[in-house]
């Protein structure tokens, strides 16, 4: 019996302007990374359930971004609200299984300094679909870190999302470190880390990559509980004032 799995590659950056052209170039580069991982992530990607889009064509991506403004309660574009383009890999057939909504690539674009935060979310879901290779997660995290340069970026699933939401609710702050099997934390945060049980750390860019020792959601959750609850993290980290740089 197939079990539904849902994974998220999550990143966000706080309050800095993002131009549409820069975002279009980053979206295109992100799809090139996805295609490099092979089927089923190579497509066909669509702007909705029916209409395919050539994600190698920057003009096509730009048109879709500009056609996806943030809307108010009555369906009108919000002035200065930015854009929320979405790309979906719908109705893709996996051997021995018919899978719907296999992949979804959502980008919240905020080309205005007044916008609090922007984020990129890549999710995979469907019966019989997993991302079994740890290397794939690392490729995605490293590549998206280089392309998008967020303050936090992580690959995670529902148990860890639930933990994240629980901790945010409890502390009422968004300044927690990122989470997941493979995560990147800023230099300001990584300076507070000594060792992390069940995980390995390595310098990366202007921060530290934290990778759990096994591909197991429970252990990953245990690692982050330990990280958040123990004195190894001596203070709730704040977001960097300036975006990090990556090699």
Each as own residue / partner, the long-range contacts of residues 227-230 (CB below 8 Å, 24 or more positions apart, any chain) are 227/177, 227/193, 227/196, 228/167, 228/176, 228/177
Q: Of the candidates 193, 187, 196, which has an alpha carbon nearest to the alpha carbon of residue 239?
A: 187
Identify whether the C-beta of residue 160 lies closer than 8 Å to the C-beta of residue 167. no
> In this structure, what are the phi and psi dihedrals at residue 206, rounded to the nearest 5 degrees?
-100, 30
User: Per-residue confidence at 106, pLDDT binned at 50, 70, 90?
Assistant: confident
The 10s digit of each residue's pLDDT in 46-103 is 887 778 888 889 999 999 989 988 888 888 988 877 788 888 775 555 444 444 445 6
Average pLDDT over residues 206-226: 62
Residue indicated by tokens 């690539």: 105
Identify whether the C-beta of residue 127 lies closer than 8 Å to the C-beta of residue 96. no
Q: What percent of the chain has pLDDT over 70?
A: 35
Kindly report which listed range (35-44, 101-110, 117-126) carries the lowest average pLDDT score.
117-126
> In this structure, what are the phi and psi dihedrals at residue 46, rounded to the nearest 5 degrees?
-135, 160
Residues 89, 109: Cα–Cα separation, whole Å: 20
Q: Where are the domains of the chain?
A: 1-150, 156-232
Structure tokens at 8: 């998220």
Residues 11, 160: Cα–Cα separation, whole Å: 15
Residue indicated by tokens 């591909």: 215
Residue 206: count of CB within 10 angstroms of its CB: 18
Residue indicated by tokens 């009108």: 76
Looking at residue 166, the DSSP 8-state letter turns out to be H
pLDDT at 186 (0 to 100): 62
Which secondary structure element, helix H or strand E, spans residue 185, and what is its range? strand 182-186
User: Per-residue confidence at 234, pLDDT binned at 50, 70, 90?
Assistant: very low
Average pLDDT over residues 217-224: 61
């Amino acid at each position: 019996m197939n079990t539904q799995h849902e994974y998220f590659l999550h990143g966000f950056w706080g309050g800095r302007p993002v131009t549409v052209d820069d975002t279009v170039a980053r979206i295109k580069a992100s799809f090139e990374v996805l295609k490099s991982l092979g089927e089923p992530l190579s497509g066909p990607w669509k702007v909705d359930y029916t209409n395919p889009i050539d994600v190698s064509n920057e003009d096509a991506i730009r048109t879709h971004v500009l056609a996806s403004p943030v809307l108010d309660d009555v369906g009108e574009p919000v002035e200065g609200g930015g854009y929320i383009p979405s790309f979906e890999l719908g109705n893709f057939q996996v051997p021995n299984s018919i899978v719907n909504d296999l992949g979804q690539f959502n980008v919240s674009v905020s080309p205005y300094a007044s916008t609090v935060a922007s984020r990129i979310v890549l999710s995979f879901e469907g019966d019989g679909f997993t991302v079994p290779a740890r290397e794939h997660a690392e490729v995605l995290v490293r590549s998206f870190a280089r392309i998008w340069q967020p303050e936090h970026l992580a690959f995670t699933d529902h148990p860890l999302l639930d933990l994240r939401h629980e901790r945010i609710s409890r502390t009422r702050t968004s300044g927690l470190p990122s989470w997941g099997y493979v995560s990147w934390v800023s230099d300001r945060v990584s300076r507070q880390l000594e060792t992390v049980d069940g995980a390995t750390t390595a310098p990366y860019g202007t921060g530290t990559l934290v990778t759990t020792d096994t591909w197991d959601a429970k252990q990953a959750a245990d690692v982050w509980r330990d990280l958040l609850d123990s004195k190894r993290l001596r203070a709730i980290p704040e977001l960097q004032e300036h975006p990090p740089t990556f090699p």
